[in-house]
Amino acid sequence: MVNYKVEHDRPGCIGCGACAALAPEFWEMDADGKSDLKNCQKKEENNEIVLESLDIEEKDFEKHKEAASACPVNVIHIIEKETGKKII
């Protein structure tokens, strides 16, 4: 069951790679030096990806929480789908 949504504010990413190092099954580094959330929906404005989002299940929560917590610029967020509450 999908319980959470991960959102990545891609323009704010500085490309430190912590998310890809901690959760390579969900995150990867792009050629432009920024991280990408794998298999996600992408929102674009002016031909630039401004937001990546992915619905996740409870079993994947901890890995995404680790990645979000390690992000030095706080551009990875986890939102509880039922309430809309931002967890991180």
Q: Supply the CATH number for residue 40's domain.
A: 3.30.70.20
Residue 29 has pLDDT above 90, yes or no: yes
* 31 located within any domain: yes
* 88 located within any domain: no
Residue 49 has pLDDT above 80, yes or no: yes
More confident residue, 29 or 2: 29
Mean pLDDT of 10-31: 96
* 87 located within any domain: no
Residue-number span of the structural domain to which 21 is assigned: 2-80
* 27 located within any domain: yes
| φ, ψ (nearest 5 deg) of residue 24 | -65, -15
Q: Which residues contact 48 (CB under 8 A, 6 or more apart)?
A: 11
Show the beta-strand stretches assigned E in the chain. Answer: 2-8, 27-29, 35-37, 41-45, 48-57, 76-80
* 76 located within any domain: yes
* 86 located within any domain: no
Task: Please give the tally of structural domains in the chain.
Answer: 1
Residue 1 has pLDDT above 80, yes or no: no
Mean pLDDT of 63-79: 97
pLDDT of res. 2: 81
**Is residue 11 within a helix (H) or strand (E), and if so which, with residue range?**
none
